[in-house]
Amino acid sequence: MSVPILDLGRAFADIRPEAEEAVKRIFDSQGFILGSEVKNFEKHAAAYLEIDENNAVSCASGTDSLLLALMALDVKPGDEIITTPFTFFATSGTIARLGAVPVFADVDPKTYNIDLNKALEKITPKTKIFLPVHLFGQMTPLEMIADELSSRNIKIIEDAAQAFGTYRTVKGKITRAGRFGAIGCYSFFPTKNLGGCGDGGMCVTNDHEIAERLSRLRVHGSGATYYHDEVGINSRLDAIQAAILDIKLKHLDEWNAQRRKIAENYKILFASNGLDEFITQPYELENNCHTYHQYVIRVHNNKRDDLMKFLDGLSISTRVYYPLPLHLQPCFKYLGYKAGDFPEAEKLSEEVLALPIFPGLKYSEQEELVNAVRKFFKI
Ligand SMILES: *Cc1c(COP(=O)(O)O)cnc(C)c1O
């Protein structure tokens, strides 16, 4: 029996009739870009995140949500943005696109998120924004440095692309990923916890003026049609994505709960099979509700690639997120980093292995994977 890394079809089966109805409705209306379907989804996403409905501004992708957020906070060439080297490329790509400078700080080896103390050490008079990522569905505890950052007039943009629905309890209060900083950014790429049937993204904020600016920037900086206050980009959500995301949003908490259950199963299965001395399982920081966009283990003793190959031979799929930290990417050579600058991130890229985790993954498939790992380690 094969075990896929991801099978989106299993959860989609539950909503397929409703999604087909929605697509028919849009074909009837012939309204494809922004419009009432998009407004409706923005309203429901805002309600879920407990913000004013006008403060949720959708756009064409998670990448664009980061670009729009940086533009809306006036990021200019030469500005320094402190961020993590261990993330998907878009987090830094968008910074570089604006001529700003990604300034990396190493990560915490347990959570894989940026090390907040190391981030603070990177502050200079040019630092404009702190851009953390809630990697794999686990929040960075931003409350720990929020005061320090605001006293230096540094704003936070959260890359919550992998963390829609994730939350953290701060002083007894639930704070959702993306709701902590000046702007939170989400991706609705099909594989994300809340994913459409194509590209999509969203920015959220508490500040009405920032929301208005984001709304203009996504339509070429235009307030009134054909009058341009500033140069923006073309980045709009389409009606079909909005309608499908609106349907999926109703299932999100249930699907995230399934992911947490699958994570718990892995935790118990690996431990009870004596495998915890060969691998390190994900660590859930206190007060966090990790939503396991990915279940990423570390494989000890340089065995990661061999284990991956072994599993692949048994038709069990795994992935490596991410094989090369951003400070070592060829396109960022000009930033002047070298191997050894961020040992934790570099070690992670050699050890991490993402296992199948998605709504609809069967317990028997998890058992099959864990049994195969046991076979590999000959125990
Ligand atoms: C997916 C992702 C993005 C980009 O989102 P797209 O919708 O693919 O453009 C940005 N940052 C992180 C951490 C991501 O995982």
Q: Is 25 exposed, middle or buried (0-12, 13-18, 19+ CB in 10 A)?
A: middle
Does residue 158's CB lie within 6 angstroms of at least one atom of ligand 1?
no
Query: Which ranges constitute the DSSP H helices of 73-145?
Result: 90-97, 116-121
Q: What is the 372 CA–ligand 1 centroid distance (Å)? A: 31
Which residues are paired to 198 by β-bridges?
none
Is a pLDDT exceeding 90 seen at residue 260? Answer: yes
Average the pLDDT over 185-204 and give the result.
98
**What's the mean per-residue pLDDT of the chain?**
97
Least confident residue range of 43-52, 219-228, 291-300, 362-371: 219-228
**What is the tens place of the pLDDT at every residue in 222-242?**
988 889 999 999 999 999 999
At 1, the pLDDT band (50, 70, 90 cuts) reads: confident
Is a pLDDT exceeding 90 seen at residue 152? Answer: yes
Does residue 189's CB lie within 6 angstroms of at least one atom of ligand 1?
yes
At 267, the pLDDT band (50, 70, 90 cuts) reads: very high
Q: Is 82 helix (H, G, I), strand (E, B) or coil?
A: strand
- Give CA–CA dist 356/314, Å, rounded: 14
Is a pLDDT exceeding 90 seen at residue 111? Answer: yes
- Output Rg (C-alpha) for the chain, integer angstroms: 21
Specify the residue with its C-alpha closest to ligand 1, atom 5: 62
Q: What is the 340 CA–ligand 1 centroid distance (Å)? A: 26
Does residue 94's CB lie within 6 angstroms of at least one atom of ligand 1?
no
Does residue 193's CB lie within 6 angstroms of at least one atom of ligand 1?
no
Per DSSP, 321 falls in state S
Average the pLDDT over 95-123 and give the result.
98
pLDDT of residue 264: 98
Buried-state track 294-331, b at ≥16 Cβ within 10 A, e below 16: bbbbbbeeebbeebbebbeebebbbbbbbeebbbbbee
Average the pLDDT over 35-55 and give the result.
97
Block residue for tokens 């990396």 = 104
Q: What is the 94 CA–ligand 1 centroid distance (Å)? A: 11
Show the CA angle centred on residue 374, arms to residues 370 and 375, nearest 5°.
Answer: 115
pLDDT of residue 372: 98
Packed helices 62-72 and 208-217: angle between N→C axes, nearest 10 degrees: 120
Residue 186 near residue 60 (C-beta atoms within 8 A) = no
- Using a pLDDT cut of 70, give the percent of the chain over it: 100
Q: What is the pTM of this model?
A: 0.98
Q: How far from 185 is each of 19, 67, 85, 201, CA to CA, in Å?
A: 25, 10, 18, 7
Average the pLDDT over 171-190 and give the result.
97
Does residue 61's CB lie within 6 angstroms of at least one atom of ligand 1?
yes
- Give CA–CA dist 112/120, Å, rounded: 17
Does residue 83's CB lie within 6 angstroms of at least one atom of ligand 1?
no
- Give CA–CA dist 291/40, Å, rounded: 25
Q: Which of 63, 135, 233 to mutate to test the pocket of ligand 1 (most atoms within 8 A of CB)?
A: 63
Of 165, 208, 200, nearest in space to 183 by CA: 208
Residue type, 115: D
**What is the tens place of the pLDDT at every residue in 330-364?**
999 999 999 999 999 999 999 999 999 999 999 99
Atom number of ligand 1 nearest to Cα 162:
15
- Give CA–CA dist 81/101, Å, rounded: 6
Is a pLDDT exceeding 90 seen at residue 379? Answer: no
Specify the residue with its C-alpha closest to ligand 1, atom 7: 62
Does residue 55's CB lie within 6 angstroms of at least one atom of ligand 1?
no
pLDDT of residue 225: 86
Atom number of ligand 1 nearest to Cα 191:
1
Does residue 199's CB lie within 6 angstroms of at least one atom of ligand 1?
yes
Residue 353 near residue 297 (C-beta atoms within 8 A) = yes
- Strand ranges (DSSP E) for 28-126? 56-59, 80-83, 101-104
Atom number of ligand 1 nearest to Cα 90:
10
Does residue 201's CB lie within 6 angstroms of at least one atom of ligand 1?
yes
Does residue 187's CB lie within 6 angstroms of at least one atom of ligand 1?
yes
Residue 209 near residue 72 (C-beta atoms within 8 A) = no
Average the pLDDT over 109-116 and give the result.
98
